[in-house]
Amino acid sequence: MNKTYVVIILLVVMVVLGLLFMGKDSTVKAPEVDTVEEIDLDNQVETNFGADLVLPASTADDGTTLPAPEVKEFVVSGSNFSFDPSTITVNQGDKVRIVFKNSQGFHDFVIDEYGRATKQNQAPSEEIIEFVADKAGSFEYYCSVGSHRAIGMKGALIVE
In the bound state with Cu ion, the residue whose beta carbon lies nearer, of 88 and 143, is: 143
With CB under 5 A, what is the number of residues at the site for Cu ion?
Answer: 5
Among positions 96, 148, 155, 157, the unique one binding Cu ion when judged by CB under 5 A = 148
Q: What is the DSSP string of the chain?
A: -HHHHHHHHHHHHHHHHHHHHHHHHHHHHHHHHHHHHHHHHHHHHHHHHHHHHHHHHHHHHHHHHTTSPPEEEEEEEEETTEEESSEEEE-TT-EEEEEEEE-SSEE--EEGGGTEEPPPEESSEEEEEEEE--S-EEEEEE--STTTTTTT-EEEEEE-
Give the residue at shortest CB distance from Cu ion: 143
Among positions 98, 143, 157, 159, the unique one binding Cu ion when judged by CB under 5 A = 143
In the bound state with Cu ion, the residue whose beta carbon lies nearer, of 101 and 107, is: 107
List the x/- string, 79-118, binding to Cu ion by CB under 5 A: ----------------------------x-----------
In the bound state with Cu ion, the residue whose beta carbon lies nearer, of 94 and 118, is: 118
Binding region for Cu ion (CB under 5 A) = 107, 143, 145, 148, 153
